[in-house]
Amino acid sequence: MKKGMNTLFSLCHLRNMSLASLKSVTSSLAKLAIDERFYISTPIFYVNAAPHIGHAYTSVLTDAMARYQKIKGKKVLYATGTDEHGLKIQQAATANNEDPKKYCDRISDQFKEAIQICECDYDDYIRTTEERHEKVVQKIWTILEEKGHIYKGSYEGWYCVSDEAFLTETQTKEVPGPDGKPIRVSADSGRPVELFREENYKFRLSAFQKDLLKWLENESVVKPVQFRGDVIAWLTKEELPDLSISRPIDRLKWGIPVPSDPSHSIYVWLDALFNYLTVAGYPDEPYVWPPNIQVIGKDILKFHAIYWPAFLIAAGFEPPKQLLVHCHWTVEGQKMSKSIGNVVNVVEAAERVSPTALRYFLLRQGVPGSDNDFSMMQLINVANSDLADNLGNLLQRCTGPAINVDQIAPSIFEADFHALGQEGTDLFNSLVQLPDKVSKRFDDFEFYMGLQSIMLTLKCANIVMQSKKPWELKKQNKMDDVYLILGACIETLRVVGIMMQPIVPSLSSKLLDRLNVDASQRTWNHAVFTEQVEKRPLGADQTILFKRIAEAQPTAAATNKPNVAANGPKKEKQEKGPSKKEKKEKKQSEKKARNAEALKEEKTGNEAEEKGGDKMVIETPEVLKK
Ligand code: MSP
């Protein structure tokens, strides 16, 4: 901002401008606007299978950060899309008997739909088969070639089609195959590899070892910190081998041709990584660079923390400011896989529990630095407990016409909280500390910790409700006291509603509409306790904020097939009520959920001292049910 003001100041002092200098001023201003953009990206998704909850996680994590930055006043460029070239996709299209382009169109649309269903508000959806991208990749190839970073060589070694990765002997291992015979797989991903020898173009990756270590000197360049350590270890353990960056066209037809030699296709990772430059607007000037944050899963760290910055430095571009790495989701403790049949489809899951619940669970339960486990039953428990009970019920109690007869958000002052006794003071303290706590967490992608604090503040508000019982005060006609309680809780809900916009955007918007918070008053700066001098009327929509999700049938939870209860013979069984085995499964799953919750509470350290750490059962008084 300061930089902007200074530039503007100096621009204002220019007099008698020529047309040329006017043009240069305009382009400086454009550059200024571009510099201020906060550029964040997801990886682009392979179109070889339908979107699952792992993809949804990458997306909602990125979307939450993008929305958080937006309400903090940043102009954001949030990019996502699909990775459509390469052998893996070529083979998937062939297996489906489809023309590769048509196949990519179809699956790319599925990703777009899934991402939109998850309420991800991206600015650009890039497909690597688009002309704008193919041009960029060819241009970059030419730059690298002209700068002498590419030479013709040959490759003899292992290739993993599923990961589209060239692997050295030590990066592979032998394991027993399905028929018991040994097969060679990637040591990292466990996916099969094949041996080949071919002529291809190579990139002088070995020349960039020092530059990469320099880039990594900044501690925040790869986060969480353990992943930065991994990258440094890879770079210091042994010399980087040069990297093959093309495949003969007779082996890989489905790729971008090498501009200077059409008998070769460009290696799919070189192609895919430069999507980030295409969406930045390159080669038009000015373009948004470098990316502020690139969100990636741990499996693609090597490509993003070694190949990507090396390509960029070689071509004369700044590497990204930060890579945010997240771990993976397992399902009921197992890696998601087609053969196990436990892949959780995003669209089906969102239809079963609502996009809000799915998003909320992923962000509330997802810890980027460790693997996370998905279970439908746990999702339902968490969403019901936090969104229906802790948040929704509080709103209902504060705004229901049975108690809030005048349908207002009352005026409220600090002294009013203290007038409510110890519970009111506890709520006040929790509320005033909340913005700092949450922004520290959100800044670091620790949405789960921020949400933990938010939920604890809401619990304090529920404790005020529970102990002061406004429904009884109303019977005694003590309306001033009633509105004191409602005022404190509604102010809490206003602050929380603003903070939850990045997490559950449509639910927050409904909440803030009901509280009649003007659209201009929903920025992060407004998420702070503010004395409300004037009362204001509530918004008109009285419908329930978050409908409780019907409990998952244990069998459905165990298989994680959201619709399984609606299919065939199992339904008959469920109508008779759960079997012993199912009851046991349910108990176990609930125990697991409680343990996970307890573990998280423990991790929060000082927050555990705050009131209301235990799961609170919120009874709805009879008067409010009417
Ligand atoms: N196409 C490459 C990325 C190229 S970026 C220039 C790719 N695609 S992917 O579809 O396989 O994965 C996309 C993202 O989803 C990756 O960040 C990956 O880590 C993430 N996930 C895939 N499975 C996952 C889980 N089970 N859990 C969480 N995220 C996971 O890699």
> pLDDT by residue (tens digit) across 148-161?
999 999 999 999 99
Closest CA to ligand 1's atom 11: 46
* DSSP string of 235-246, one letter each residue: HHHSPPPPEE-E
pLDDT for 100-138, tens place per residue?
999 999 999 999 999 999 999 999 999 999 999 999 999
Q: Is residue 24 part of a domain?
A: no
Start-to-end CA span in the chain (Å): 53
Q: Is residue 5 part of a domain?
A: no
92 in helix, strand or coil? helix
Rounded distance, CA 484 to CA 461, Å? 12
Cα-to-centroid distance, 155 and ligand 1 (Å)? 26
Cβ partners under 8 Å of residue 494, min gap 6: 409, 512, 515, 517
Question: Each residue of 215-226: pLDDT tens digit?
Answer: 999 999 999 999
Residue from 52, 136, 140, 300 to probe ligand 1 pocket by mutation (most atoms less than 8 Å from CB): 300
Q: Does the beta carbon of 300 lie inside 6 Å of ligand 1?
A: yes
The residue whose CB lies within 8 Å of the most ligand 1 atoms, and thus the one to mutate among 269, 328, 371, 372, is 328
Q: Which of 262, 295, 310 is the last residue of a domain?
A: 262
33 falls in which pLDDT band (50, 70, 90)? Answer: low
> Are residue 258 and residue 400 in the same domain, yes or no?
no
- Domain membership flag for residue 322: no
**How many whole angstroms separate alpha carbon 214 and alpha carbon 231?**
12
Distance CA 507, CA 523 (A): 16
Among protein residues, the one with the nearest Cα to ligand 1's atom 24 is 54
The domain that holds 522 is classified in CATH as 1.10.730.10
Q: Which of 262, 292, 325 is the endpoint of a domain?
A: 262
Residues 460 and 591 occupy one common structural domain = yes
Q: Is 296 in the pocket of ligand 1 (CB under 6 A)?
A: yes
Do 538 and 402 share a structural domain? yes
In a domain, 258, yes or no: yes
**Distance in Å, CA 37 to ligand 1 centroid:** 25
Nearest-angstrom CA–CA distance, 533 and 612: 29
Asked whether residue 607 is assigned to any structural domain, the reply reads: yes
* Same structural domain, 389 and 250: no
Domain range for 258: 148-262
Q: Which phi-psi region, left, alpha or beta, contains residue 577 (left: φ > 0; alpha: ψ -120 to 50)?
A: left
**Total number of domains constituting the chain:** 2
Look-up: residue for tokens 């309420």? 119
**Distance between CA 358 and CA 353 in Å, rounded?**
7
pLDDT of residue 551: 80
Task: Supply φ then ψ for residue 325, to 5 degrees.
Answer: -100, 135
Residue 44 Cβ contacting ligand 1 at under 6 Å: yes
Please give the distance, rounded to the nearest whole angstrom, from the Cα atom of residue 72 to the centre of ligand 1.
28
Residue 298 CA, ligand 1 centroid: distance in Å: 8
- 335, containing H or E segment: strand 334-335
Listed in sequence order, the residues at least 6 apart from 47 whose beta carbon sits closer than 8 Å to its beta carbon are: 82, 83, 84, 89, 92, 103, 104, 107, 108, 111
- Indicate whether residue 325 lines ligand 1 (CB < 6 A): no
The pTM of the full predicted model, rounded to 2 decimals, is 0.86
Whether 407 maps to a domain, the answer reads: yes
Q: What angle do CA 6, 321, 127 make, to 5 degrees?
A: 110
In this structure, what CATH number is given to the domain that contains residue 162? 2.170.220.10
What integer pLDDT is reported at residue 336 of this predicted model?
92
299 lines ligand 1 (CB under 6 A): yes
Q: Flag whether 290 is in a domain.
A: no
* Token pair 């409904």: residue: 510
SS3 264: strand
Strand partners, 79: 41, 124
* Residues 6+ positions from 334 with CB-CB distance below 8 Å: 340, 342
Whole-number Å distance between alpha carbons of 89 and 105: 12
Q: Whose CA is nearest to atom 16 of ligand 1?
A: 297
Same domain? For 398 and 545 the reply is yes
Average pLDDT over residues 352-366: 98
- The answer to whether residue 27 is domain-embedded is no
Amino acid at 119: E
Domain closes at, from 213, 238, 262: 262
Task: State whether 382 and 253 are in the same domain.
Answer: no
Q: Which residue has the higher pLDDT, 103 or 570?
A: 103
